[in-house]
């Protein structure tokens, strides 16, 4: 209708050029085309209500509004175009991400030069993830450091134990070499001394029997000299016993019975010196041992306890089974050395007595070691000595021998 095109609004036939035009106020698209003959024009018009509605639905404004509503996107906007679309904040790449703080909320913003589009994304999850990664990194560093410290301590402990074991083996080897040297020397000395001692002893015995003119004092002197020779002969026997190699003949032996029999031989002397004796044998398992050698162990230990308590005391003997070994504890009072010197009493020629060679406990240690056993010295209370010897049970020693043979 002609009233759709007011002259003041759009003189459609003023300059028809065949270009599609839009009249938003009328929701109209029209195409004016000049006539070939005569003035005026031919105009084709279409209503644009549906097209404008569709454009509102799919247009850039609706698109920006929809994008802004998406999760994590705070805003998408178009800013006024500038002559130089590459410009931005000084020293900042226009296409780079810029982090902003919007009322405590972290925003990641990127500006694109085409159309001066600006997109702002929520940067809180990014910063939270970054903080979480730092925390995990620090936790990993702490855990790695803790593991390093733990394994360093474990390695140090293992090395210390290994070094201590090597030192113990070296001390044992040094002791064995020393024992071997002392043994060879003692055997040679004992052999050389015994012959003249035997001659002196025979001469004194003959003198005592055949010299009728000897007085009482002379005969007493001869008897004293014979006693001194007897003690010297006993010392030589100990030296020879310590020097000779030990080859135990293993049989089932009960330690409790061996020590009870040896204690019975000295019971009178213990009572004379007011020494209380006690032997506790709740179980007495048979061990693999040489009866003769173990009797020497019992005799030496009991004599050592007797000689250490001239003014009275006590002696306590107890047996037990520990795993695959028979164990015997012997305690007595009268120990006068400091606790740190307790281990020295098993050293050859170490003694605190006025008489003796100091070989008694050294012989005990050699015999116990020859039985694949162990000898431990401790001072549980002041002036109380405890000696613990452990020997493999009968049958277990044969298993160890069999294992050693295969090794």
**What's the mean pLDDT in 4-8?**
47
Rounded CA gap, 195 and 190, in Å?
9
pLDDT at site 163: 92
pLDDT over 70 (residue 211): no
Rounded CA gap, 106 and 132, in Å?
16
User: How sure is the predictor about 383, in pLDDT bands with cuts at 50, 70 and 90?
Assistant: confident
pLDDT at site 349: 62
Mean pLDDT of the chain: 77
**What's the mean pLDDT in 134-151?**
93
Closest CA to 346 of 299, 287, 291, 301: 301
pLDDT at site 210: 66
**Reported pTM:** 0.50
Between 99-113, 252-266, 300-314, 373-387, the lowest mean confidence (pLDDT) is in 99-113
pLDDT at site 80: 61
pLDDT over 90 (residue 360): no
How many residues in total does the chain contain? 407
Neighbours of 295 (CB within 10 A): 16
pLDDT at site 287: 92
Closest CA to 311 of 293, 288, 334, 295: 334
Tens digits of per-residue pLDDT, 230-278? Answer: 777 777 776 766 666 778 889 999 999 999 999 998 888 999 989 999 9
pLDDT at site 329: 93
**What's the mean pLDDT in 182-205?**
73
Neighbours of 253 (CB within 10 A): 22
User: How sure is the predictor about 316, in pLDDT bands with cuts at 50, 70 and 90?
Assistant: very high
Rounded CA gap, 96 and 111, in Å?
7
Tens digits of per-residue pLDDT, 46-86? Answer: 887 777 777 777 766 677 677 666 666 767 766 665 544 44
pLDDT at site 222: 76
Q: Would you say 384 and 335 are in contact if contact means Cβ atoms under 8 Å apart? A: yes
């Amino acid at each position: 209708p002609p009233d759709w095109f007011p002259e003041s609004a759009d003189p459609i036939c003023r300059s028809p050029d065949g270009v599609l035009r839009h009249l938003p106020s009328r929701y109209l698209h029209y195409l004016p085309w000049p006539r070939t003959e005569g003035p005026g024009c031919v105009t084709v018009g279409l209503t644009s209500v549906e097209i404008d509605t569709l454009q509102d639905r799919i247009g850039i404004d609706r698109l920006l509004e929809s994008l802004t509503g998406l999760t994590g996107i705070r805003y998408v906007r178009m800013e006024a175009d500038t002559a130089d679309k590459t410009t931005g904040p000084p020293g900042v790449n226009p296409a780079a991400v810029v982090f902003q703080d919007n009322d405590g909320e972290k925003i990641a913003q990127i500006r694109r030069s085409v159309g001066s589009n600006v997109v702002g994304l929520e940067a809180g999850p990014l910063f939270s993830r970054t903080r979480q990664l730092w925390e995990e990194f620090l936790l990993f560093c702490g855990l790695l450091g803790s593991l390093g410290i733990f394994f360093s301590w474990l390695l140090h402990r293992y090395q210390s134990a290994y070094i201590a074991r090597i030192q113990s083996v070296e001390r044992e080897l040094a002791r064995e070499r020393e024992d071997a040297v002392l043994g060879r020397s003692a055997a040679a000395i004992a052999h050389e001394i015994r012959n003249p001692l035997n001659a002196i002893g025979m001469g004194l015995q003959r003198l005592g029997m055949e010299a009728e003119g000897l007085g009482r004092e002379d005969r007493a002197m001869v008897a004293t000299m014979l006693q001194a020779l007897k003690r010297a002969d006993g010392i030589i026997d100990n030296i020879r016993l310590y020097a000779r190699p030990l080859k135990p003949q293993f049989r089932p032996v009960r330690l409790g019975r061996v020590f009870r029999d040896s204690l019975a031989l000295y019971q009178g002397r213990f009572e004379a010196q007011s020494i209380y004796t006690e032997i506790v044998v709740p179980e007495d398992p048979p061990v693999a041992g040489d009866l003769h050698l173990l009797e020497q162990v019992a005799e030496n230990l009991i004599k050592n306890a007797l000689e250490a308590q001239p003014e009275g005391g006590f002696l306590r003997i107890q047996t037990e089974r520990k795993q695959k070994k028979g164990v015997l504890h012997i305690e007595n009072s009268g120990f006068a050395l400091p606790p740190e010197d307790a281990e020295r009493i098993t050293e050859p020629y170490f003694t605190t007595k006025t008489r003796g060679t100091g070989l008694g406990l050294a012989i005990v240690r050699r015999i116990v070691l020859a039985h694949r056993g162990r000898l431990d010295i401790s001072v549980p209370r002041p002036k109380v000595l405890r000696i613990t010897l452990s020997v493999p049970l009968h049958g277990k020693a044969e298993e160890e021998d069999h294992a050693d043979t295969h090794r």
